[in-house]
Amino acid sequence: MLDPTLLRGHVEEVAKALARRGFSLDAKSVQALDQQRKSVQIKIESLRNERNVLSRAIGMARREGRAATAEQERAQHVGQELAEREGELQQLLTRWEELVLALPNLPQPDVPDGKDERDNVCLRQWGEPRVFPFPPKDHVEIGERLGILDFAAATRLAGGRFVVLRGEGARLERALIQFMLDIHTREHGYEEIAPPFLANAQSLLGTGQLPKFEEDLFALRNDPFYLIPTAEVPLTNLLRDEIVADLPRRFCAYTPCFRREAGAAGRDTRGMIRQHQFDKVELVQIVRPEESAQALEMLTTHAEEILQRLELPYRVMFLCAGDMGFAAARTYDLEVWLPSQQCYREISSCSNFESFQARRLQLRYRDAEGKPQLAHTLNGSALAVGRTLVALLENHQEVDGRIRIPEALRPYLGGQAFLGVRQR
């Protein structure tokens, strides 16, 4: 969440920065609420001081054998008023907390202005989209022809926006996961974590999914848990409420992810692009503030390397203020080329949250003077496994129906160079 001191002392500047994201903050209402809190706190302190004075006077009167009727009556009245004022303060603090938790992060100053994805800026592009000597098929047609993607079975089992991977499809997904984990742990220095796939509300509050995005989450009916929407949640919460002695820390994890993907006016209802359950390998870094800018560049290149080794054309997009996620201060999206759609589609989002999550998590380190300071948190997908599988099927299809396996992935498939051509 935002720094309360910044919000109280510079609310107009905060409102102006949030307006870049399309978020309207009523600065006058914020100031009025804070002034009301201050007024009540001052009154509470005055009443507490008066209560202490009366208590001493009553005590002295008793020791001297005198009556203190007036003081006792006044003390009773002060006690009642104090209880009322403390209740009022608690209500004001609850309103303040609700306000602060609903505010998104501030975009960094050089984040491009804009409302949506049309205003994002392309930073770089890798690889050239392939020119096919035949009309390229989409992943649904490829997967169903090869017998590796079974959407009909998934619909019977769970409903829409699910898929069953069969045979070589399941094996390919497992190979992609192992390949990604090996690169990030062996070459990039991340610690592999196998976290729970359930999280409590406090964990989701810490990373910013709650309270704003509760409707997007799958909650267990009779237990206080949610299915995780991303491994970002458990990985970042590993150091919640800690003062970390050694930074930076780098974590990675494979997990299934669960989200209510309603889509935009029916967009992406076909295939594996937008599903309720999908696999992902996630990267999280926890660093000192002065290191977070460089850490984001590093993390992004780690995700890019997976796409390069899989020989998948992509571009890196610098998201405008209006298109960033709730908790992000700066975001780079990796978009992979999909021949069937003749466009680039998001496959990874790499973000610097600065201290936004750390403040909620009370995730700190000690500075050179030994004082606890808030760390900065970052995360990125490296990569979304389902979309990687989609991109691989579409970009590496051959005229005879085979799917070429990139050289880097073949050791994870026993040296296999192509997926089969089995007809259904």
Residues of the chain with pLDDT under 70: 262-267, 421-424
Residue 421, pLDDT score: 47
Of 198, 262, 259, nearest in space to 233 by CA: 198
Clarify whether 259 is annotated catalytic.
Answer: yes
> 283: which strand partners?
252, 380
Distances from the Cα of 82 to the Cαs of 53, 347, 387, in angstroms?
Answer: 14, 56, 59
Residue 262, pLDDT score: 56
Catalytic residue among 203, 292, 340, 349: 349
Type and span of the H or E element at 151: helix 151-157
Residue 314, pLDDT score: 98
Of 173, 231, 227, 165, nearest in space to 201 by CA: 227
Residue 261, pLDDT score: 74
Clarify whether 274 is annotated catalytic.
Answer: yes
Catalytic residue among 50, 117, 305, 346: 346
Of 178, 311, 146, nearest in space to 252 by CA: 178
> In this structure, which amino acid lies at residue 90?
Q
Clarify whether 348 is annotated catalytic.
Answer: no
Contact 282, 252 (CB under 8 A): yes
Catalytic residue among 274, 345, 359, 360: 274
Neighbours of 424 (CB within 10 A): 6
Residue 153, pLDDT score: 97
- pTM score, two decimals? 0.93
Residue 268, pLDDT score: 76
Under DSSP, the state recorded for 322 is G
Residue 276, pLDDT score: 96
- Structural tokens at position 378: 């970052």
- The CA distance from 137 to 140, in Å, is 8
- Any idea which residue has 């003077």 for tokens? 369
Residue 172, pLDDT score: 98
Q: Encode 60-101 in three state secondary structure.
A: HHHHHCCCCHHHHHHHHHHHHHHHHHHHHHHHHHHHHHHHHH
Residue 69, pLDDT score: 87
> 314: which strand partners?
126, 336
Residue 265, pLDDT score: 47
Catalytic residue among 37, 249, 259, 364: 259
Under DSSP, the state recorded for 154 is H
144 burial via Cβ count (<10 Å: 0-12, 13-18, 19+): middle
Type and span of the H or E element at 50: helix 27-64
Domains and CATH numbers, the chain: 4-101 (1.10.287.40), 117-419 (3.30.930.10)
Report the half-sphere exposure of 261 (CA within 13 A, side-chain side).
Answer: 20
Contact 140, 269 (CB under 8 A): no
Catalytic residue among 37, 360, 387, 394: 387
Neighbours of 282 (CB within 10 A): 30
Clarify whether 349 is annotated catalytic.
Answer: yes
